[in-house]
Amino acid sequence: MRSAKRLRRVLPQLSFEMRAPMRLVLKLILLPTLVWLGFLVSCTHRTSPGAIPSWAPRSAARYLDQREDAWAGWIGSAQDRDTFCVACHTSLPYAISRSSLRLALQERRRSEGEQILLSNVARRVQLWNKVRPYYTDRDYGPRKAAESRGTEAVLNALILASADAETGRLSDVTGTAFSYLWDSQLTEGNNRGAWAWLDFGNEPWEASDSQYYGAALAAIAVGVAPEGYRSRSEIQHNLEMLRDYFNRQYPGQPTANRVVLLWASTKLPHLIEPERRKSIIDQLRRGQQSDGGWELSRLVCPTGWSFHAIRCVQFRPDWTRQDTESDGYATGLITFTLEAAGLSTQDPTVARGIAWLARNQKADGSWSSLSLNAERRPSSNVGHFMRDAATAFAVLALTESDTLSEPNPESSNIEEDERIEGFPNLPTHDRNSCAVGLSIKVKPARLPSSPLVTSSF
């Protein structure tokens, strides 16, 4: 009993005296061991060079389908003769990206949204001299009709040529679209070789510097068209004017336009010199942020120390703050373009861009991108426009699929009855209805009696 009492008196004292040595042991041995174990665990979850991190292609497809269906059925996009306008923010990115998801989703046919979009574009091409331009001079001001025609001619040619690239055959309606494209090309003035382009002061696709972007899209259309279209003798003079325009106007272009020019150069040979190609790639490497993404405002705003350049990077035109975080549209477009330019997924810049995209897909399948022009409510229709483009280019980058390349017709995954030979022979479906969601049919939107507002993004 006496020994037990003595032990009870000694133990607290020993416990107190051993606290400091025990803390020392914890710091010197246990904590480094835990850190090392954590490092080993993290290494086992790192993406190996060249591997594509996990993401959800089915969710991305669902988002893109829903958004294109919503745009096609929205009264704000309605045009005459039961058609709708093709938008740079939603329809065009959808048209060039949706096919890249077919392999991952094991799809054998074009989605309903693709079929409706192609039918709409083909209809407007065949009714070119009868349909009204998207915007008229009377309702929207001087030159808006010409700008509408130039913009639509480029977008129509690109969308239809991209569809033909999947089948390996140049359809009649695409040939007609290219005829209207060349008829609309400017042949005089400082912008000779380009096309009149919509300018509503909306970056990055409808602003004063967006004409260069539009010309680059035209070059992509020519480059992706199958059956060696770019080599036809009758268009060589047009292509020479286009190359001259790119060289003449290059010095004043923002980075965003140079990215699209780099993309175009991967489709149309000899569009830019190797030194210029390297310069653009180096510029993109320097602009990558520490998290692997790119900031959109710095991509679009002019360089230099002018008041406009400084204001553009920091503030939108409505004086709300620009988003300075890495952006889904900027990162998707640049990563995809670098891949198209031949950079491997093991290239550090590309690998970090892919990793950023894989980490930042939203629960609804989209990637975020905010307006450069005004603060938008994200849940609104207009608030989705930048996100639509971001999602499309993120998909292109992550699928590592050059969806605009000229394939072998024998290996095409588009069934024979879906090949476009002109509007009457398009796949059978309700040409005048647009699905909201994935399966709900709605009546075609009708033109309101008053002029429509522009689709600001």
CATH number at residue 131: 1.50.10.20
Please check the confidence at residue 265 and state whether its pLDDT lies above 90: yes
Higher pLDDT, 269 or 124: 124
Query: Is position 295 within any domain?
Result: yes
DSSP state of 320: P
Burial class (CB in 10 A: 0-12, 13-18, 19+), 168: middle
Q: What is the pLDDT of residue 313?
A: 82
Of 36-40, 141-145, 178-182, least confident by mean pLDDT is: 36-40
Query: Is position 205 within any domain?
Result: yes
**Bond preceding residue 204 cis, omega within 30 of 0:** yes
Q: What is the pLDDT of residue 20?
A: 46
Range of the domain at 180: 53-413
Q: What is the pLDDT of residue 416?
A: 35
Q: Which pTM value belongs to this model?
A: 0.79
* 246 within 8 A of 215, measured Cβ to Cβ: yes
Q: What is the pLDDT of residue 266?
A: 97
- Copy the structure tokens of residue 83: 């058609």
Query: Is position 26 within any domain?
Result: no
CA–CA separation, 168 and 412 (whole Å): 8
DSSP state of 449: S
Please check the confidence at residue 339 and state whether its pLDDT lies above 70: yes
- Copy the structure tokens of residue 190: 């400082």
The domain tally of the chain equals 1
Please check the confidence at residue 312 and state whether its pLDDT lies above 70: yes
- φ, ψ for residue 267, nearest 5 deg: -105, -30
pLDDT grade for 208, boundaries at 50, 70 and 90 = very high
Query: Is position 418 within any domain?
Result: no
Query: Is position 121 within any domain?
Result: yes
What would the mean pLDDT of 376-398 be, rounded to a whole number?
Answer: 93
Position 149, amino acid: R
Position 76, amino acid: G
- Copy the structure tokens of residue 373: 């022009």
What would the mean pLDDT of 162-181 be, rounded to a whole number?
Answer: 98
| Number of CB atoms found within 10 A of residue 356's CB | 24
pLDDT grade for 116, boundaries at 50, 70 and 90 = very high
Query: Is position 446 within any domain?
Result: no
What would the mean pLDDT of 125-145 be, rounded to a whole number?
Answer: 97
Query: Is position 15 within any domain?
Result: no
Q: What is the pLDDT of residue 40?
A: 40
Q: Which residues on neighbouring strands pair with residue 440, listed in sequence order?
A: 436
What would the mean pLDDT of 177-184 be, rounded to a whole number?
Answer: 98
Query: Is position 266 within any domain?
Result: yes
- Copy the structure tokens of residue 43: 């290494």
Q: What is the pLDDT of residue 336?
A: 97
Q: What is the pLDDT of residue 378?
A: 84
Residue keyed to tokens 């090392």? 36
